[in-house]
Amino acid sequence: MAIVVNKPLPEFEANATGGIKVSNTSHLGQILVLYFYPKDNTPGCTTEAMQFRDKYKDFVKAGAAVFGVSRDNMKSHDDFKEKLELPFELIADTEEKMCHMFGVVKNKIMYGKKVKGIERSTFLIGPDGLLVQEWRGLKVPGHVDEVLKAVKSIKALKKAA
């Protein structure tokens, strides 16, 4: 089942570092940021993780939980998290269930060969469990600031209501 903006997320459950389980209902009442990235310890993914790390306190202050998602296993995630001192958890989607649900598995050309890879994408889920916004095929520079701005606008709307 595909995900659609302004609709609830389909049912899912995933394991994250820190022994945490994340599901479509685990963070109701809280803003949820799921950012999908190709691979631990690669240049773009490291930069993106560090930018989320550096703005993490701002996300928490705005009422958001942040999770990174990739196909890497838990050991790889634990090492990546420790190396970069990430304050948020990483979801190990080794069976690509979430990647397929969110439609981020794409055919890419790498070194002249066709490979299946993860398209760098971020999804913003509101406190009501509805998908608010999505960024697909994004570039790292400036992206985290854009997501933070969107999170703050949800918080402002919530306050005004």
Residues acting as catalytic residues: 45
The interaxial angle of helices 43-54 and 74-84, nearest 10 deg, is 60
Give how far Cα 10 sits from Cα of 23, 25, 43, Å: 9, 10, 32
Instruction: Report the C-alpha gap between 104 and 157 in whole angstroms.
Output: 29
40: Cβ contacts below 8 Å, ≥ 6 apart: 70, 72, 76, 77, 79, 80, 90
